[in-house]
Amino acid sequence: MQRSRSHDPATALPLPAFVQRAVDSLAQELLRPPGAPAMDFTQPAGEPALAPHDSMSWQVFKNPVAMFVGGVAAVILELAEPRVRTGVWEHSTFRTRPMQRLQRTGLAAMVTVYGARSVAEKMIAGVVRRHGEVAGHTPAGEPYAANDRALLTWVQATAAFGFVQAYHAYVRPLRQDEFDRLYLEGAPAARLYGALDAPTSQDEVSALFDRMRGRLEASPIVFEFLDIMRNAPILAAPLRPVQRLLVRAAVEITPVWVRECLGLTSRYGASAIEKRLVHWAGSFADRIVLRESPAAQACRRLGLPADYLYRRRSP
């Protein structure tokens, strides 16, 4: 397969074999809901994904630090919208089985970005069918439906915002055109989910956020969510302080006006030293090849080396 850009020598950091096996195993378990078989991203051989292999999306979504931090930030923004908040909190197992919900959500994100197109389309169609059963009223009496076009647009926009902002803040600074590329690359998947108005540039994201200022509101559920994310057994017990640090880093990348609206004071965010620590972790993670991760498997599906996404690209 012809590559679209030339590559400089690889920048991936080699790990001792036993460490490599351990991190690969951990990465697989985090994306495998209980009782579900491991997803094979190497099949069907040669079939492209919804986003191309040389996309910003493939670069950003390979980084576990950006994924964790960005995912938490995205949910904070989603829960600030009362209709989305009610739908998520009343029609999901997040409060009772948070780890399983996180695993399913993480796997869905990986399939959307790295899965073969036919696999991703089938998975998204199933999500859309399930969303069709989710409807109700907020505590204030406002109707909502999970497949509502406006709500889907907000969910898709906040997800993309969270992931790209986390990568920008804690992995490497991105240029304006790189932000725009990531938003544009997400459009095909967004349309499949039903988010027909999902923004395709950073300017469009900013405009959407401005329009939503009057819709967002504080809720105890936001703080309940943060407490779950701090204490759920996502990382091993010795790493729980790191998990809490990543949650604070997520609060830090949400817009200041959103934090003020929600009552997320400075004690919920990260200090300057903590932000530097998360940046170090994110930059380090961007050089560790998880050889059984969806990103590496998808590369092999397309005939690319497993470390393709970890190689320095020439401008």
Residue 306 in domain: no
Q: Which residue has the higher pLDDT, 139 or 314?
A: 139
pLDDT of residue 53: 97
Residue 185 in domain: yes
C-alpha 201/C-alpha 177 separation (Å) is 9
Q: Could you tell me how far CA 113 lies from the centroid of its own chain?
A: 10
Q: Count the domains in the chain.
A: 1
The pair phi, psi for residue 275, each rounded to 5°, is -65, -40
Q: Could you tell me how far CA 142 lies from the centroid of its own chain?
A: 28
pLDDT interval class at 151 (50, 70, 90): very high
Largest Cα separation within the chain, whole Å, is 59
Residue 7 in domain: no
pLDDT of residue 228: 94
Q: Which of 4-8, 115-119, 242-246 has the lowest mean pLDDT?
A: 4-8
In the chain, pLDDT over 90 holds for what percent of residues? 75
pLDDT interval class at 13 (50, 70, 90): confident
For residue 116, give the DSSP letter: B
pLDDT at 269 over 60: yes
> Over the stretch 32-71, which tens digit does the pLDDT of each residue have?
666 667 789 999 999 999 999 999 999 999 999 999 999 9
* pTM listed for this prediction: 0.92
Residue 162 in domain: yes
Alpha helices in 115-148 (DSSP H): 117-131
pLDDT of residue 10: 45
**What's the count of helices (H) and strands (E) in the chain, helices before strands?**
15, 4
CA torsion 290→68→30→109, rounded to 10°?
-90
Q: Which residue has the higher pLDDT, 310 or 46?
A: 46
Distances (CA, A) of 128 to 94, 131, 147, 148: 19, 5, 7, 11
Residue 201 in domain: yes
Residue 125 in domain: yes
Give the number of other Cβ atoms within 10 Å of residue 306's Cβ: 18
C-alpha 74/C-alpha 40 separation (Å) is 27
Please provide the average confidence, as pLDDT, over all residues in the chain.
90
pLDDT at 22 over 80: no
For residue 144, give the DSSP letter: E
C-alpha 14/C-alpha 184 separation (Å) is 33
Residue 52 in domain: no
C-alpha 96/C-alpha 17 separation (Å) is 37
Residue 275 · residue 281 · CB < 8 Å: no
Residue 80 in domain: yes
C-alpha 250/C-alpha 71 separation (Å) is 8
Distances (CA, A) of 257 to 77, 83, 105, 191, 210: 11, 20, 27, 29, 10
> Over the stretch 85-116, which tens digit does the pLDDT of each residue have?
999 999 887 788 887 888 888 899 999 999 99
Tell me the average pLDDT across 186-197.
Answer: 96
Domain of residue 135, residue span: 62-104+116-287
The residue whose two tokens read 């969910």 is 155
C-alpha 275/C-alpha 286 separation (Å) is 16
Which DSSP helix (H) or strand (E) runs through 313? strand 311-313
Q: Give the dihedral sign, CA 138/141/158/131.
A: positive
pLDDT at 7 over 60: no
pLDDT interval class at 4 (50, 70, 90): very low
